[in-house]
Amino acid sequence: MHKLASAFIGVCVLAALPVPAMSAPSGARVVFVPSNSNPPVPAGLKVTCLKGPDTLQSSATCPVVQYNGFTTWAYSYIDNRLSLALVTYDSTNKVVSNVEQKGVRYVWNEISSNPNQNVAIFGQSNAYVTVPWSQLGGP
């Protein structure tokens, strides 16, 4: 019984030791913002965020990527081509990058992967493109 009490006290002492703080992941994160909260949209583009992959019903929110102090919106083209414009803004809403991603339009969801360091951007009919974090602005 003495050994059991000693073991119990040892566990209690270990549990009371401070635990080092875990740092938050510093990767790209996806947040959903009001669809009308976008910065100025470059010419030829429009905000089109859908409620899901198989509907043309507009969503009240849009997924955007935040990475290294930059924010990237996935805009649709006014001519409705099967592409998205990934427009990255700095903290003053100045465009720092505008890249066309072919094969998907009308964004509805985005998922960031820390292990792969990329973002999957989903659009109409659940088509998607995968973009490395390094293409989303920043140093």
How many domains in the chain?
1
Query: Distance between CA 36 and CA 126 in Å, rounded?
Result: 23
pLDDT over threshold 80, residue 20 = no
**Which residue segment(s) compose the domain that 71 sits in?**
28-135
Over the chain, what is the mean pLDDT? Answer: 86
Query: Distance between CA 35 and CA 33 in Å, rounded?
Result: 6
Instruction: State the Cα angle at 73 between 67 and 65, rounded to 5°.
Output: 25
Q: Is residue 88 part of a domain?
A: yes
Phi, psi of 89 (to 5 degrees): -115, 150
**C-alpha neighbours within 13 Å on the C-beta side of residue 2:** 0
pLDDT-above-70 percentage for the chain: 80
Q: Is residue 118 part of a domain?
A: yes
Q: Is residue 14 part of a domain?
A: no
Q: Is residue 16 part of a domain?
A: no
Q: Is residue 1 part of a domain?
A: no
pLDDT over threshold 70, residue 16 = no
pLDDT of residue 89: 96
pLDDT of residue 117: 95
pLDDT of residue 138: 57
pLDDT of residue 136: 86
pLDDT of 71-107, one tens digit each? 999 999 999 999 999 999 999 999 999 999 999 999 9
Are the C-beta atoms of residues 20 and 55 closer than 8 Å to each other? no
Nearest to 72 by CA among 85, 58, 83: 85
Nearest to 44 by CA among 85, 12, 72: 85
